Amino acid sequence: MPATALDSLIFRDIFGTEEMRRVFCDETRTGFYLQIEAALARVQARLGIIPAEAAHEIEQQCRVENIDFAKLKAQTERIGYPILGIVQQIVALCADGLGEWCHWGATTQDITDTATVMQIRDALVLIERDMEAISASLAALARRYRDTPMAGRSNLQQAVPITFGFKAASLLAAMQRHRARLAELRPRVLVGEFAGAAGTLSSLGADGLKVQAALMVELGLGQPEIAWHTVRDRIGEVGCFLALVTGTLGKLSMDVKLLMQTEVAEVFEPFHKGRGSSSTMPQKRNPVSSLYIHANAALVRQNAAALLEAAVADHERSTGPWEIEWIALPEIFLLSAGALAQSRGMVAGLQIDADRMRANLDLTNGQISSEAVMMGLAPHLGRQRAHDLVYDKCREAARSERPLLDLLAEDGEIARHASRSELAKLLDPANYVGLAGEMVDRVLAIEEARYRSDR
């Protein structure tokens, strides 16, 4: 009976995805165990370590459909690990005692860790695909709204004008960095494990490294320079990477939630009939995807911390920290997949109200551009005097609800250095977005160069 949000029939496709569950399900994991055992027998036969007929028989029996999962459950509960139970079943299936050559020179953690890396490899393909799709949508938003002014906000207050394209490009730049991190970490993380009981390959003598190298070629993984049974930075790195990715998605979701507020109403999640409705307030259009993204991102970070706890392992084979990974790592990937899927759909259909953005820029009667006036007057009055003068006018504008332009133009000291038309130009938010457009262009150029190189 499903008991958590990740396996609930109702919630599982909100917080995770079917594709990612498939990567971490019992059948896939067991299939990787069997693939490794078959590859090990194959390379050992090729190197003359075990009989060729044994390798052939083992390979024939290493099929998921041959495994009795109810029996494997009982074996795992009794033994504490699934690998020996799988080997026992394969040995029993092989004819003429040839199965005794199965798992030759290996240890449980060799098979488990290598299978985990194979799961990570497949899972990262799904992660990368969604990152690419989100990046494409952010690029489209950055390009379309490159010059669309909106209020930049600091401490939840209007600060100075920016553009919506600038906001989208900032997130796109983060996704570009994440994609670069992914390319960099793959060679470090996608490394198999085959080292024997305490990591020295003593059971295979001089042939150990030959077997290790050939096995990794068979599996398409990197060969470790030394055993990493209890040195877990590879697993920790991928967890921290996903914490960074989902942290960016969490920031995206936070901004969308805030921009959807009734009093702001500048950006909205995609509309579908009934989505985000309230059971009692018919007028409401609540954020939905943003909420799940936020929750998933928070839990990915907590599980990443658990992986770092698992890195504090004892001696050459650990007593407990390793098992933390069995719980935390699949959850990290499932939650990350859920956050990416929600983000992908949200960003692709994000609704932008440029008119409302402009209206909100005008809420303070010009005060959002007060820095522009200060900087315009500073060469004539000195920066501090200009600041204090404009500050006083802003306070007066807030009290009187008069346009800041009128108050500035009426001041004799200011009028000596700037005409009303010059002040109006300084106060136009569209004229004070700085180099936002140029920065957007730089981020888009990186995206376009990457697109060309990928083709």
Q: What angle do CA 415, 418, 423 make, to 5 degrees?
A: 105
Q: Exposure pattern of 419-450 as b/e (b: 16+ CB <10 Å)?
A: eeeebbebbebeebbeebeebbbebbebbeee
Q: What angle do CA 318, 324, 325 make, to 5 degrees?
A: 95
Closest CA to 332 of 298, 364, 363, 356: 298
Residue showing tokens 């690029």: 139
Task: Give the number of other Cβ atoms within 10 Å of residue 348's Cβ.
Answer: 15
CA atoms within 13 A on the CB side of 78: 9
Spot the catalytic one: 177, 188, 202, 278. Answer: 278
278 is catalytic: yes
Task: Give the number of other Cβ atoms within 10 Å of residue 321's Cβ.
Answer: 17
Q: Cα separation of 114 and 236, whole Å?
A: 15
User: Are the beta carbons of 227 and 200 closer than 8 angstroms?
Assistant: yes
Spot the catalytic one: 63, 121, 181, 317. Answer: 317
Q: Is 162 helix (H, G, I), strand (E, B) or coil?
A: strand
CA atoms within 13 A on the CB side of 280: 0
Q: Cα separation of 105 and 110, whole Å?
A: 10
Structure-token pair, residue 272: 């579908």
User: Are the beta carbons of 113 and 318 closer than 8 angstroms?
Assistant: no
User: Are the beta carbons of 338 and 17 closer than 8 angstroms?
Assistant: yes
400 is catalytic: no
Structure-token pair, residue 329: 């790592």
Q: Cα separation of 128 and 136, whole Å?
A: 12
Active site residues: 278, 317
